[in-house]
Amino acid sequence: MSSPKNLNTAAARILHLLATRCETPSHLHQILAQLLIQNLRSDTTVAHRFITACHSLNLLSSAAFPLYINNLTTPHTFVCNTLLKAFSHSSAPQKSPIIYSYMHRNAISVNNYSFPFVLKALADLKLVKEGTNVPLELVA
């Protein structure tokens, strides 16, 4: 993950807005517009902070979130893991296994950080059988 000192000015500005000014859905939509206009959707640090802001405002199901995800140019393991974590701790844990499947379909590597959040979501959804298949993929 890049430190803010190494980021360009536009990314640093977005990170500052997410940290200090993102308190309402309206703020989040304004930041999303800036993020897309300034072509920062591939920056993993910005993606992580945006997803975290959506989660903290309970907006993972808002219009801004899918718009952002659909505009990602190259999803990265870090971004997908952030999504797994956010959804597993949200009111929509059923989206964690969808993200996990998306990672497999798009050859995005999964790692030890990915599995706990998928397993938590499956446990919350009472999908024990599906949960037993997740660790077996480590062996395959």
Please write the tens of the pLDDT for every residue from 101-119.
888 888 888 888 888 888 8
Average pLDDT, the chain: 79
What pTM, to 2 d.p., does this model score? 0.71
Give domain limits for the chain: 1-73, 75-140
Kindly list the distances between the CA atom of residue 41 and the CA atoms of 44, 78, 91, in Å, as whole numbers in the listed order: 8, 13, 25
